[in-house]
Structure 1
């Protein structure tokens, strides 16, 4: 009876997939809720001023004169509700969500993100990836992101937009990806 040695050791991982969080985050939902509440408050204040009746449980907006206070409050409320509509649409579509998939067997990297109207996908042969780049910039507008340095192209960002990732998570993810792709890790 012959013993097969084909499954004697652990096989290297062939596919690495990293999910990317989009705009459906708690911070965005809280901002959209605050803008919606404020916009409704301004509109109700404007309407109270026009009708002469208090439509809000706090304050006495009916005592405001319609021109200019009530009218300006109405414009602020309308602008806030238009902004809130945009924010809720972006959250509903989950713009920016997607994944990074690196497949050794196929020799391809697929970077996919959800846009407003369509899915955005970029395929890159693994042999064209030169390095994994870690960018860390602190200050007023901090940036912490991972990017792929690709032959003949600009750096391709891999991490989400918005809240900067914790430095430890960024380094760990970058090191894991560089090991998987067998390329250097730059920027540390």
Structure 2
């Protein structure tokens, strides 16, 4: 929602198809590891392991050390999967950025984990904003970030590259925010 005096930008959280896909794959694989490790403990040939990991019927997995290690990876992966699914369920990190020139206030809102601090709101005065900063890194796997740079040298991230299609789209969004706030853009 945008007008001359008010600008609201929605921040997408973790509910993306790619995150759902990876959380599902992790859950299925960790259950497979756990079942295989437990079946090696009980000296039982496991069909799940033979189908998904292409093990011959003759191969036997000993509980020590392979089965024990598979149980460990299964349990550890299961807890990581629970964490990922809870982030998806509670939509942690989603929210909005609200710029109000009439009141001179910036409101950053994000959803957190359940509890007394589930709603995270940060209020700032627009006059304290020095510039919009785009942090670019040379590493291929590092995302580009858009930050609000304040006069006291503090910076707050607005969005990451993963919320945009490409670098050009992110730069356009940063330019749109900078134009609305009437502040310069810095590239770091």
C-alpha distance in 2, partners of 1:61/1:124? Answer: 67
**Larger Rg: 1 or 2?**
1
Name the SS for the 1:96 alignment partner.
coil
Deviations 1:21-51 (A, max 9, x none): 1122222212211111111111111232233
C-alpha distance in 2, partners of 1:61/1:160? Answer: 50
Hey, what does 1:156 align to over in structure 2? 156
* Residue 32, structure 1, aligned to residue 11, structure 2: no
C-alpha distance in 2, partners of 1:140/1:126? Answer: 33
Distance change (3 Å), C-alpha of 1:162 and 1:178: closer
* Residue 143, structure 1, aligned to residue 149, structure 2: no
Hey, what does 1:41 align to over in structure 2? 32
Deviations 1:133-162 (A, max 9, x none): 122223244231111111225111110375
Following superposition of structure 1 onto structure 2, how do residues 65-144 of structure 1 map, counting pairs within 5 Å? 65-117=62-114, 118-144=118-144
Name the SS for the 1:186 alignment partner.
strand
Distance change (3 Å), C-alpha of 1:179 and 1:78: same
C-alpha distance in 2, partners of 1:25/1:122? Answer: 25
Q: TM-score, normalised by structure 1?
A: 0.83
C-alpha distance in 2, partners of 1:77/1:68? Answer: 14
Q: TM-score, normalised by structure 2?
A: 0.83
Aligned-residue RMSD, C-alpha: 2.3
Cα offset, 1:182, TM superposition: 1.2
User: How many pairs are equivalent?
Assistant: 177
Partners of 1:20 and 1:160 within 8 A in 2: no
Deviations 1:80-110 (A, max 9, x none): 1111111111111111111100011211110
Partners of 1:132 and 1:186 within 8 A in 2: yes
C-alpha distance in 2, partners of 1:79/1:107? Answer: 48
Q: Which consecutive unaligned segments of at least 5 residues does structure 1 have?
A: 1-11
Name the SS for the 2:144 alignment partner.
strand
